[in-house]
Amino acid sequence: QKEVEQDPGPLSVPEGAIVSLNCTYSNSAFQYFMWYRQYSRKGPELLMYTYSSGNKEDGRFTAQVDKSSKYISLFIRDSQPSDSATYLCAMSEAYMRFGAGTRLTVKP
Amino acid sequence: NAGVTQTPKFQVLKTGQSMTLQCAQDMNHNSMYWYRQDPGMGLRLIYYSASEGTTDKGEVPNGYNVSRLNKREFSLRLESAAPSQTSVYFCASSEGPQGYYEQYFGPGTRLTVT
């Protein structure tokens, strides 16, 4: 069993939709939780960073962490075609572990 | 600022050949990392360097060696390439220890071993 599980999709939504991306994990030692966005043939870039359980909002993006359920989510409101990318969850204790990534397409 | 740069962008090797992937950062970061990205597997840490002069194994170090040449540069060497090492390799850097600080990634090197 992988330490971090992420549905690879692909996920296709119409412009303006609310998108929900999720990861589960098995290692209760993970303390820091991140979401990275990766455009095609580019390196990942940090989108959101959270430490504790609860919600963190940044513009159209909300990251949610539920440590008791070992579950993290990323919500994208009013999705745009420019949000089309692969979204990677990541978490760390000694070193970073990444999910496999979910490929998202937002259609105009 | 160029951020994190990697060379080469593409490489094709035959089984058994060796090569070195180069990485440099101009952000004065202390920590640097090498990852590989494979379909369905996500990014996996190969080696990292928490600070100049130190290197440590990550999740998948077998078949690789690294050198932290100075604060700016961190190279990854494949001594005898195998088809299982076909992957996209990313270098990253961060101001401080991983997990606490944002990691900045380079554009990647696409390596094919035939």
Q: pLDDT tens across B19-32, in order? A: 999 999 999 999 99
pLDDT at A95: 79
Which position has the token pair 């490929």?
Answer: A103
Q: What's the first-to-final CA gap in chain B, in angstroms? A: 36
How does strand B42-49 pair with strand B31-38?
A: antiparallel
Q: How confident is the model at residue B97 (pLDDT cuts 50, 70, 90)?
A: confident
The owner of tokens 């840490």 is: B45
Instruction: Answer yes or no: is pLDDT of A8 > 80.
Output: yes
- Give the gap in angstroms from C-alpha B41 to the nearest C-alpha of chain A: 5
**For B55-78, what is the mean pLDDT?**
96
For chains A and B, count residue pairs whose Cβ atoms are closer than 8 Å.
53
Q: Closest to A96 (Cβ–Cβ): which among B98, B107, B108?
A: B98
Count of Cβ atoms closer than 10 Å to residue A107 Cβ: 11
Task: Give the minimum alpha-carbon distance from B49 to chain A in angstroms, rounded to a whole number.
Answer: 11
Q: Kindly determine whether residue A43 and residue B90, on different chains, have CB atoms separated by under 8 Å.
A: yes
Distance from CA of A73 to the nearest CA of B (A): 17
Kindly report whether the peptide bond that precedes residue B8 is cis, defined as omega within 30 degrees of 0: yes
Radius of gyration of the CA atoms of chain B, in A: 13
Is A44 within 8 Å of B40 when comparing Cβ atoms?
no
A62-106 per-position pLDDT tens digit: 999 999 999 999 999 999 999 999 999 999 887 789 999 999 999
Q: How confident is the model at residue A18 (pLDDT cuts 50, 70, 90)?
A: very high
Name B24's bridge partners: B5, B73
SS3 A52: coil
Q: Which residues of B touch A43 (CB under 8 A)?
A: 4, 90, 92, 105-108
Residue B1 pLDDT > 80: no
Q: What is the pLDDT of residue A16?
A: 98
Alpha carbons A46 and A32: distance in angstroms, whole number: 13
